[in-house]
Chain A
Amino acid sequence: MDMFQIAALGLTGAVLAALLRQEKREFAIYVALAVVLLILSQSLHQLLGVFDFLSSWQTRLSYGRVYLPVILKILGVAYLADFVAQVCKDAGEGAIGAKVELAGKVMIFYLATPVMASVLELIENMIPG
């Protein structure tokens, strides 16, 4: 799905949401949510090629081979947290959106700790004495 279709999707979604916002506020949120879901799932399919490329490179990496799945997980968490936070803010629930974002950051920090541990260990070995 190329960029033109995504642009058209976004524009029609915006127009329909504005149309529905007068009478029924909640339907504007549903339309916006549907459009966001569609655009995200289309753009996810584009990522498949990148992931194949990364995994083909993974065999040649010596040091960071273990951490490619961690990177993918962090990417997924960031993707989801941003999606939900924006939709919540769009629906008027700023607090919920902010908390989802915070939870996303905490999750990413949690996922990143093993990587940090191994980097620190590497540095420690390098420094003599």
Chain B
Amino acid sequence: MSIDIDIIFKIAAIGIVVAVLSQVLIRAGREDQAMMTTLAGIIVVLMIIIEMIDSFFETVKTMFQL
């Protein structure tokens, strides 16, 4: 697992950026692009989380001989 505290700040930063961007885009009248940025943010965060889940499941599998 990479430096752990750093991942959480990364995810939180992506969340904040996406929130701000979508607000700005909604104010500018481009709702569809706001939706796009939100989706992009979610996909990036999901990639990180899926990689973490995968390594967690791998450790559980090896440790508990499941």
Contact = CB atoms under 8 A, between A and B. Distances in A.
Interface of A: 8-9, 12-13, 16, 19-20, 23-24, 26-28, 30-31, 33-35, 37-38, 40-42, 44, 47-48, 51, 69, 72-73, 75-77, 79-80
Interface string B29-66: 00000000010011001101100110110011001111
Interface in B13-33: 14-16, 18-19, 22-23
A30 B11 contact: yes
B60 A37 contact: no
Given A72-B65, A79-B60, A37 B15 contact: no
17 contacts: A9-B4, A13-B8, A23-B15, A23-B16, A27-B19, A28-B15, A31-B12, A33-B49, A34-B8, A34-B48, A38-B8, A38-B52, A40-B56, A51-B63, A75-B64, A76-B65, A77-B66
A42 B4 contact: yes
Contacts of B5: 8-9, 12
A34 B66 contact: no
Contact of B53 (A26, A37, A69, A77): A37
A9 B65 contact: no
B66 to A, nearest CB: 5
A19 B45 CA distance: 16
